[in-house]
Amino acid sequence: MKKDSNEKAKQIDSLKKKLKAKQKEINKLKEQNKRLKQIQKNNNELKYAFVFNDTIKESLWLKKKDFSLVNSAANYSLMYSLYRILNDAQPKNILELGLGQTSKATTQYANHFKDAKLTIVEGDQDWIDIFSQNLEISDNVEIVQLDIEEFEYDNTTTYRFKDFLDVAGSEKYDLIIIDGPQGFIDTDEGRQLLHYSRTNVWQLIPDNIADEFIILMDDCERKGETRTFNHVKELMEKNNIEFYEYKCSGLKTQRAILSEKFRYISWI
């Protein structure tokens, strides 16, 4: 009897050791997988950096090419997507949420295409004052400062631009670029991501969306932006608005929905 239980104990011990070794292997594979994903992201970003720079070389309207596409600013896949959308779709009424590197392209576009209109909404007045010095702002461009407010949705707190519909009024936007306000809050425990992020776009559906439209959302590698984007799709469906989808990834991920006329953008 004692011999049996000794044998069992030995077996259990050996199984435990094997399990531990397997767990170690799994952890190592997970780590390798994470590194591979990061390498893939870096490769994609480099690919878009080359393609973006080639694409804008002979641009008729993007003359100043002094972009600094690092850190939390726009990345290369966003700039490539945005440039192709502006150049190929030639939108007439653009709403840009979040002032920054992307605005260097949108303001030049509006400078060249005088029949287009560009509204940039930004929360931080200091950032507007500093950054506007880099931009040529023509009469068809308006930069609006709006404060940020808390907004409760689905039992979670999110942050959005306050009095947003005062700016949108009865406008019908054919391009909406969503890269603001910030998709996180700074707390004592550090940076905290939001469950839903950048939800102002929901307020625009359906009244402020043109018949033919593109809605481009940055940072969809984050769950908060992806949830917001998915709800945009739900609202479109609820309003019987047909759309197609676009996705692009470098260091960050962009997603867009497109109406029939701009469906070809999904293949750029």
Ligand X SMILES: C[S@@+](CC[C@H](N)C(=O)[O-])C[C@H]1O[C@@H](n2cnc3c(N)ncnc32)[C@H](O)[C@@H]1O
Q: Which stretch binds ligand X (CB under 6 A): 100-108, 109-117, 225-233, 259-267?
A: 100-108
Contact between 60 and 86 under an 8 Å Cβ cutoff? The reply is no
Distance CA 73, CA 250 (A): 13
Decide whether 102 or 199 has the Cβ nearer to ligand X: 102
Q: In the bound complex, which residue of the shown chain has the CB atom lying closest to ligand X?
A: 100
Instruction: State the number of binding residues for ligand X (CB under 6 A).
Output: 15
Contact between 240 and 204 under an 8 Å Cβ cutoff? The reply is no
Closest listed residue to residue 178, CA positions, set 268, 66, 266, 74? 74
Beta carbon of residue 30, minimum distance to ligand X (angstroms, whole number): 29
179 interacts with ligand X by CB under 6 A: yes
Q: DSSP characters for 227-238? A: HHHHHHHHHHHH
The three-class DSSP label of residue 229 is: helix
**Footprint (CB under 6 A) of ligand X, residues 53-82:** 72-74
132 interacts with ligand X by CB under 6 A: no
Cα distances from 84 to residues 1, 19, 181, 268, in angstroms, run 78, 52, 24, 7
250 interacts with ligand X by CB under 6 A: no
Beta carbon of residue 220, minimum distance to ligand X (angstroms, whole number): 13
Decide whether 174 or 219 has the Cβ nearer to ligand X: 219
Distance CA 29, CA 36 (A): 10
In this chain, which of 180, 201, 204, 255 binds ligand X, going by CB under 6 A? Answer: 180
| Residues near ligand X (CB under 6 A) | 72-74, 98-102, 122-124, 127, 179-180, 182
